[in-house]
Amino acid sequence: MNALLKHRLTWPVLALVLLLLLNQVFRADFLSVRLQDGHLYGSLIDILRNGAPTILIALGMTLVIASRGIDLSVGAVAAIAGAVSCTYIYTSPDPSSLRTAAVAVALAVVAGLVLGLWNGFLVSVVGIQPIIATLVLMTAGRGLAQLVTDGQIISVSNDSYQSIGAGFVLGLPISILIAAAAFLAAGLLTRRTALGTLIEAVGINPVASRLAGLNARTITMAVYVFSGLCAAIAGLMISSNVTAADANNAGLYIEMDAILAVVIGGTSLAGGRYSLVGTLIGALIIQTLTTTVYTLGIPPEVTLVFKALVVIIVCLLQSSRARTLLKQRRRPVTATSDVKVAI
């Protein structure tokens, strides 16, 4: 029991379950999932589907944060990816074919990789602090996206493209499947190879890592490229879902949600050990919160404050210091047993 309480995923999972139950109290059919026309429907499916872009971006963000960095440009990269693909489809001679959609997706992915490479270059080669380096693209990226779309909202009509964000396979929304695949791929890529440990080593102690022979530069570069890739795919989902590219609003503030998801999931902003599962739960908490706001009928003016409150509570529950304070309140006399050995 004690071990379970100490596990770093216990509190986020508990928070998620409580949120879901709260919804169930207010709406009796909240947790039910039904099959209709061969597709799964229900609030849980909606949460997963709407949360897919955040999950993807938070995945990339997790690795960046583990390496002691941060990527503020993900929202802008998502907007650029959407702009590139939609503009390509819009201007192509055959705007509704599968082939056009495929090229559009490829172009967007390449754009994401290149932009990630740019961030990685600024951070690891030029040596700019991550928050500043990615701030550059966060601001400039929206402008780039506008240049691509010529300042217009580009609407497209291509069934194949639309299915990325709104389609179903085997009864499940495709965006959920993509997010799940990316999650598995990231897990395998970092935990089956040595990449995960090396990223953690660089994040915990860059100096010692360099002296142990790690090529910190390449590792840093790789995490930003991965983050760019995730952001690009998320951008495809967002634009596909509304069949349009909106340079100004696509993925707006998604970097904040992603960073929150990582933090709620128990990965420290100081870098080092990370948990992809934690991030997944964090992203789901954030998405569930948004849904909860609708379920409870909370007026939209209060929504952001409500979200902030829940996030603060979850973070406090995770902080060992806050927990100790809480414990001392309840049992003031017990001596703390986990005194760390000095040296």
Which residues of this chain interact with other proteins, rule CB under 8 A?
192-195, 197-198, 200-201, 204-205, 207-215, 219, 272-273, 340-343
If the CB atoms of residues 104 and 201 are measured against other proteins, the closer one turns out to be 201
If the CB atoms of residues 30 and 274 are measured against other proteins, the closer one turns out to be 274
Q: Cβ 1 to other proteins, closest distance in Å?
A: 21
Q: Cβ 292 to other proteins, closest distance in Å?
A: 34
3-state per-residue secondary structure call for the chain: CHHHHHCCCHHHHHHHHHHHHHHHHHCCCCCCCEEECCEEECHHHHHHHHHHHHHHHHHHHHHHHHCCCCCCCHHHHHHHHHHHHHHHHHHCCCCCCHHHHHHHHHHHHHHHHHHHHHHHHHHHHHCCCHHHHHHHHHHHHHHHHHHHHCCCCEECCCHHHHHHHHCEECCEEHHHHHHHHHHHHHHHHHHCCCHHHHHHHHHHCHHHHHHCCCCHHHHHHHHHHHHHHHHHHHHHHHHHHHCEECCCCCCCCHHHHHHHHHHHCCCCCCCCCCCHHHHHHHHHHHHHHHHHHHHCCCCHHHHHHHHHHHHHHHHHHHCHHHHHHHHHHHCCCCCCCCCCCCC
If the CB atoms of residues 201 and 233 are measured against other proteins, the closer one turns out to be 201
Q: Cβ 220 to other proteins, closest distance in Å?
A: 13
Rg (CA), the chain: 21
Q: Cβ 219 to other proteins, closest distance in Å?
A: 8
Strands 34-36, 172-173: parallel, antiparallel or unpaired by DSSP? unpaired
If the CB atoms of residues 32 and 197 are measured against other proteins, the closer one turns out to be 197
Q: In the block, which residue shows the tokens 């990226």?
A: 141
If the CB atoms of residues 77 and 225 are measured against other proteins, the closer one turns out to be 225
If the CB atoms of residues 193 and 328 are measured against other proteins, the closer one turns out to be 193
Q: Cβ 205 to other proteins, closest distance in Å?
A: 5
If the CB atoms of residues 76 and 186 are measured against other proteins, the closer one turns out to be 186
Q: Cβ 114 to other proteins, closest distance in Å?
A: 22
If the CB atoms of residues 333 and 342 are measured against other proteins, the closer one turns out to be 342
Whole-number Å distance between alpha carbons of 202 and 199:
5
Which tokens hold the place of 184?
């598995």
Q: Cβ 210 to other proteins, closest distance in Å?
A: 6
If the CB atoms of residues 200 and 257 are measured against other proteins, the closer one turns out to be 200
Q: Cβ 276 to other proteins, closest distance in Å?
A: 17
Q: Cβ 132 to other proteins, closest distance in Å?
A: 16
Whole-number Å distance between alpha carbons of 338 and 343:
15
Whole-number Å distance between alpha carbons of 152 and 174:
28
